[in-house]
Structure 1
Amino acid sequence: MSGMDRTLLTQAYRKIGRGLLLAGALTFFVNILMLVVPLYTMQVYDRVMSSRSLETLTMLAVISVGGLVLYGVLDFIRARAFLVCGAVIAHRFNVPALQAAIVDALGGGTRNAGQTMRDLNDLRNFMTSNAVVVPLDLLWTPIFLVILFILHPIYGWIAVGSALLLLTMNALTDALTRRPIAEANEASAKVFADVASTVRHAEAIEAMGMLPPLARRWQMAQIGSASLIDRGVVLSRGMASASRSLRLILQIATISAGAALVIRNEASPGSMIATGIIMARLLQPFEHLVENWRQWVVAQTAHKRIRELLNGEGARRSTMPLPRPDGRLAVDRVSHVPKGLQRPVLRGVSFALEPGEVLGIIGPSGAGKSTLARLLVGIWEPTAGGIYLDGTSTFLWERESFGQYVGYVPQSVALLDGTIGENIARMAQADPAEIVRAARLAGVHDMIGRLPFGYDTPVGENAFALSGGQRQRIALARALFGKPRLIVLDEPNSNLDHEGEQALLTAINHARRDGATIVMVAHRPSIVSVADKLLVLKDGMVEHFGERTDVLKMVQPGGAVKVARLVRTGESA
């Protein structure tokens, strides 16, 4: 997480803290005003009934109604304070959490971005629920204890004993349910993540009849998750029921004690009734703490996951945008060991390109070509060495401005949920003329025009189905959008037909004349011919680098034939 993100989150926590302090102060006055009804009842029984004074009754009623109206207003303001705290969580945490989830995914992490968003939603819902009020109500329970001791010490000691019993029930609830509920939440999150991953491969599943075994696997996982959830819910509900029964028994004990005191003339009938009301209010937060314990555990688990994600090792990026580069690319002794591996995929790779040059990267499968492509655009940080665009590290470069100067077509093309126009414009507001320009450069303008809604045709996982070649050509248009200075193409013609490949070669030549530096991982020999320079990777090291004709001579005997063989066998790296 960057320093700016940490500052924003610190400010968010401070704002939430101020909101909770306000809610705590309001809770004090709300609890004081909740004494209106028992005090009114006591006065009616002890004063009005004996004096038979309607004037006293009217005055007490007017004062009580005024107090209860004020109670409603303050309770509403307190609810609004919690609502604002929930909104702060949604507005201040969502972008840093999403960024952290993406960085974690790029680094090979296992956290799910969808689960992160669900965790934020759970936290927001918790902040606006009744469960969050319980600790604040508990904070002011001494007020009711003092009142009960004033009415009679026996009332006070019964209240103390009742509170201790319910606190014991709460501790027992925590000990019995915390772990089962946390395990159930984790299992449920994993089941949903597995289902989402499975659905993304629907075509292969349907074509090869994989649905029945996958359904059995999911059913077994679902049964395990449901079993854990049932266990946690049963324990939580059981303890809540026991807590309610205990509270009612304690209220009976209070009424019995009050009746005994009235019989012995040690307390008035009004105080006995008022004590029952106050006792019920005093014990209510303790009971609710037991009932809402599952919500607390869910919220704590969600907050823990979000904190771990945000406090994880984020990408060390600059926050200052840089001006548009010329396109000079320098790769200096780059080595890279992917997360979870011990052996480097790239070792000591060095080369340099000037603006307007086209480099073709070839080599056998597993040579590290795609890894190098990802490093060039700053997706990963080199383990050793550096990659520099106009002297600035492509990894450290501030991402939004860097994205304006770089075009990238990954090996596995994916279009985001949105329209074709939005995808070409990289999901930003853009001049339609620039979108059309990029599409024409990629030779995809006419194809888009034949789609149902043209540039407004929705695409993505749940929208209009495009062929692999169509997606690849739209991805090329996206890479060319905005006249980037560095263009990295990882097997850009793997799904293209002859027409699409010719359009790709035309686009590369146009970008070269425009002064862009172009790096392409070759999949077919045909696009090697457009390269000014060739780099041959083998076992993660540079075997040959130089002008295309010179490299062709160095790989003799066989020349272009051997290069074609290297290209054909290097389908992935």
Structure 2
Amino acid sequence: MKSNIFQPGYDELRKIRRQSRGLYWFTALFSMFVNLLMLTGPLYMMQVYDRVLGSRSEATLVALSVLVIFLYGTMGFLDYARGRILARVGARFQTALDRRVFDAMIRRSAVAQDSSAQTGLQDLESIQRLISSPVLGAAFDLPWTPIFLAGIALFHPWLGLLALAGGAILIAIAIANQIFTKAPTQKANMSSHKANLMSEEIRNEAEMIQAMGMRGASFARWQAVRTEALKDNMSASDSGGSFSTLTKTLRLFLQSAMLGLGAYLVLQNEVTPGAMIAGSILMGRALAPIEMGLGQWAMVQRAMKGWHSLAELLSKVPPETERTALPKPRAVLEVQGLAVVPPGSKAPLLRNVNFAVKPGQAIGIIGPSGSGKSTLARALTGVWRPAAGSVRLDGAALDQYPPDVLGSHIGYLPQRVQLFEGSIAQNIARLEQEPDADSVVAAAKKAAAHEMILKFPDGYDTIIRGGSGLLSGGQTQRVGLARALYQDPVIVILDEPNSNLDNEGSQALNHAIKQIKAEGRSVLIMAHRPAAIQECDMLLVIDKGTQTAFGPKDKVLQEMVANHQNIRKSTNAGGVQ
């Protein structure tokens, strides 16, 4: 049932894999010659023991040795070429899916906490590593194992039976390894992932942990998770290592047993000494792919899990359809009957919201904490899709614009501003590799951040590194505001824009809002502080996810004050009674 649900993802992965079908056939062809050339050693030993030592001919030994050098050189070249082909197949597979998986991961993570989204790129890398590793080469060698075992039987049936029994035991061990190590390996991977997430969370909040004396408590919390991960990893390692050791020991024993049985048959004059040595060498070669697979089974399991997780992610997030390019919209935003249900929830956080924004208007959105202001911001930027109703930009629904195009039309300053590793200019330019300097400076000036940035060691080229603490909260918010204003979006949405700003920053914010309005663009401001709505023309009041008022700012404020006074009078009257 589960595979049917995620079938589109499996089909997409197989389609990409089929692009390298020709290279896989080349690998199979090279593997055929490599395995045929593996017979060089056994045949050489047979000739040396049965012909050279019997005839005592040095010329024959030299001729055979020269031929063996050539054959081994050819085999080494083909094996090297096979490895290079598989490395490029792995790189081609990853390159073909990099953008698709990255987009799916961003789209899924933006609307839901999904483990398949969080590890998407790691899953893709695990598959690439398996394709490029010697394990896949061993998989191409595996079909030759029965042929080598049959070749041993040609020397003598007893030798063939010993080889067949040994091969069957090793295959049984491989199956048992897959069965008994699957659960411990999955548990170990989940525990390690949990520990890594917690360590990353602690690292990101290092300043707060240091300031509040939480190092001991945070270490104890992380150590408990880390210890559990270590236990799970040791359990998985012990389980897999026991099978790997058993396989190696059994293979060495089988080679010695092959020599012992061969020696007995030589004494009985049923095989030659050369056949005895050749049988032992062939036995080792026949079982080598199985031993390789068991030794690298953790990598195989990780890639198999990555394959299924990627199929799940790609099925949940299908490819985006091509959209007809629309002209740059006017600053007209219409919200009709909007209801928003957060991902993973069944109850709407917003219900029946209706308002319109015209060019040159600034609308303040106010309400108590948890009323749904940030939820509305996510819906207006297209991050969360409406469960009911619509959000239209200049008449077009938001999903009619490609995400990157929509982002260029709608500037967004989230409640918590996150800057990325890179220069300040790159952060303002929304991570463009080669930012347009004029646009970057213009956006910084509109956000009143230009003079502030010039005071940094390298100005706009100052590098921001994660957790460096180079910028204060207010400075970070100004850079975030400049990013929201980059390349003049027609709609600017500011969620608590002055939460970290001082008086000077608040004045700069109001100046930026006034300038946006003067340019015929529109602003929506989610705010608690009265200073943030100073330049607003209209007010939208949200309480408990419901729109309670919308209209001119002064009128709405008067109604709110009147209602407040009426409530107080009613309360006082009730108290008198």
CA distance in 1, matches of 2:318, 2:228: 34
CA distance in 2, matches of 1:343, 1:175: 42
Change (3 A) 1:544 1:316: farther
2:280 aligned with 1:284:
no
1:43-442 equivalences under 5 Å are: 43-111=47-115, 115-313=119-317, 319-428=323-432, 429-442=434-447
Q: Which residue identity does 1:29 align to in structure 2?
A: F
Offset, 1:371 = 0.7
Q: For the Cα contact (< 8 Å) 1:23–1:81, is it kept in 2?
A: yes
Q: For the Cα contact (< 8 Å) 1:377–1:395, is it kept in 2?
A: no
Q: For the Cα contact (< 8 Å) 1:104–1:314, is it kept in 2?
A: no
CA distance in 1, matches of 2:317, 2:493: 27
Change (3 A) 1:420 1:8: farther
Q: Which residue identity does 2:526 align to in structure 1?
A: V
The equivalent residue for 2:569 is: none
Residue 509 of structure 1, aligned match among 495, 511, 514: 514
Residue deviations 1:228-268, cap 9 Å, x none?
Answer: 11111112222222222222222222112212222222211
Q: For the Cα contact (< 8 Å) 1:8–1:92, is it kept in 2?
A: no
Q: Which residue identity does 1:546 align to in structure 2?
A: G
Mind listing any 5+ residue stretches in structure 1 that lack a counterpart? 563-573
Offset, 1:305 = 2.7
Residue deviations 1:434-488, cap 9 Å, x none?
Answer: 1111111111100101111110112242335211111111111111110111111
Q: For the Cα contact (< 8 Å) 2:109–2:118, is it kept in 1?
A: no
Offset, 1:380 = 0.6
Residue deviations 1:409-456, cap 9 Å, x none?
Answer: 011111111111111111112221111111111111001011111101
Offset, 1:320 = 4.7
The equivalent residue for 1:459 is: 464
Q: Which residue identity does 2:512 align to in structure 1?
A: A
The equivalent residue for 1:539 is: 544
| Bigger shift: residues 121-130 or 324-333 | 121-130
Instruction: Say how many residue pairs are matched.
Output: 560
- Give the alignment's Cα RMSD to 1 decimal: 2.5
2:487 aligned with 1:482:
yes
Q: For the Cα contact (< 8 Å) 1:335–1:383, is it kept in 2?
A: yes
Change (3 A) 1:320 1:65: farther
TM-score, normalised relative to structure 2: 0.91
Where 1:219 maps in the other structure, the secondary structure is helix
The equivalent residue for 1:567 is: none
Mind listing any 5+ residue stretches in structure 2 that lack a counterpart? 567-577
Q: For the Cα contact (< 8 Å) 2:180–2:239, is it kept in 1?
A: yes
Where 1:214 maps in the other structure, the secondary structure is helix
Change (3 A) 1:46 1:54: same
CA distance in 1, matches of 2:156, 2:137: 29
Where 2:345 maps in the other structure, the secondary structure is coil
CA distance in 1, matches of 2:510, 2:443: 14
Q: Which residue identity does 2:74 align to in structure 1?
A: L
CA distance in 1, matches of 2:223, 2:534: 53
CA distance in 1, matches of 2:349, 2:95: 40
Q: For the Cα contact (< 8 Å) 1:457–1:464, is it kept in 2?
A: no
Percent identical residues = 36
TM-score, normalised relative to structure 1: 0.92
CA distance in 2, matches of 1:360, 1:491: 11
2:525 aligned with 1:520:
yes
Offset, 1:113 = 6.5
Where 1:482 maps in the other structure, the secondary structure is coil
CA distance in 2, matches of 1:58, 1:299: 47
Offset, 1:73 = 1.2
Change (3 A) 1:8 1:239: closer
The equivalent residue for 1:473 is: 478
Change (3 A) 1:32 1:320: farther
Q: For the Cα contact (< 8 Å) 2:360–2:518, is it kept in 1?
A: yes
Where 2:77 maps in the other structure, the secondary structure is helix
Q: For the Cα contact (< 8 Å) 2:144–2:286, is it kept in 1?
A: no
